[in-house]
Chain A
């Protein structure tokens, strides 16, 4: 199956700093990527839809100025957590759909990034 690589796998940062997480589709082009957030022992909550070449679409309640998304190419989307605080500590996962495939298909997920803000 297609491969989505997420980097870094884990990161610890100081409160007030910004952290960038990358999501790459390694062997296919992805016009659309999604960013999810997952708290311990909870489900995945969609944060935003990242569209190549256009602005991201954020879900209700997600601060777009805090979670900056850039989808600069067909294989890369980035999520930047700006001015991180301890409550931003979470597991962040991206997913991507292969361009050209129908909607009736599976998404491919990155391995996730564990962010800890101290």
Chain B
């Protein structure tokens, strides 16, 4: 399977703490994207990082990309209860086809 892997599979933190989740993938990529999914709902796009970029910020989100290690990380700072969701990375390698990671289930405790 080409599916990427994410770790941890599940993460439980207190409100206000930072949450870090990692994604590893197997093939060369054009870009990597992070998505959020609330339970039983569709996906919401969070951030896109291109293969020639190393770091990107968007609000409380910080994404890094290390193409030599085929890995990416998503950092959510000052987490809130509303951040409770599953987070997926997805990669594309020159086509529109997305390969999703296994996901991290984040729970932020109030």
Contacts and interface: CB of A to CB of B under 8 A. Distances in A.
17 contacts: A6-B42, A32-B96, A34-B96, A34-B97, A43-B103, A44-B100, A45-B3, A46-B97, A103-B92, A103-B94, A106-B45, A107-B33, A107-B98, A109-B42, A109-B44, A111-B42, A112-B41
Given A42-B103, A43-B3, A43-B88, A112 B42 contact: yes
Interface of B: 3, 30-31, 33, 35, 40-45, 48, 50, 88, 92, 94-103, 105
A49 B98 CA distance: 10
A55 B101 CA distance: 27
B62 to A, nearest CB: 18
Contacts of A109: 35, 42-45
A104 B31 contact: yes
Interface residues of A, number: 27
Nearest to A41: B105
Contacts of B92: 103
A93 interface: yes
Contact of A49 (B31, B40, B97): B97
A112 B44 CA distance: 12
B48 A106 contact: yes
